[in-house]
Structure 1
Amino acid sequence: MNSVSRFLVGVDIGGTFTDIVLLDRHARRYTVHKLLTSTADASESVVTGVQEILAEANIDIGAVDYVVHGTTLTANTIIQRE
């Protein structure tokens, strides 16, 4: 059995767009999905984006081994003094 995790999801929440990347490490392929970031609750964009990319790839959430998240929202808020 291969010990390398198969599916990984990466999430980048930006002020305008949220980018979701699905990586299939066995096939060495990735899929990218982009959607608008919800200004009311950025986590809504993450949940929606992950659901959409997994549906497009016909992959069950249980097959995802890791989710990695990054954002610039906090830094941008401080820099822009909002």
Structure 2
Amino acid sequence: MPADNTRYLITAAKQRHELTRFKVIQAPRELDSTGAVVTFQTVAQKASVARSWLYTQSDVRAEIERLRTTARALLRAAVA
């Protein structure tokens, strides 16, 4: 009977998830601080994740939408 390696797989999956979350949380902050456009596409590219996955993360989604809205308001104010 093969050894039960389930706990190692679970630990690895949790670590991978935590690293991914860290990259995804940092990406919009870095993009915003450099003046780059913050969109789901740019965040996904910067963090090397699928754009569809970003939509499933409610906190990340809210932050991207907030930064995107703020950028649009600033752009409108600069044009006016």
TM bin, normalised by shorter chain, reads: 0.3 to 0.5
Structure in which a larger fraction of residues adopt strand: 1
Structure in which a larger fraction of residues adopt helix: 2
TM-score under structure 1 normalisation? 0.33
- Structure number with bigger Rg: 2
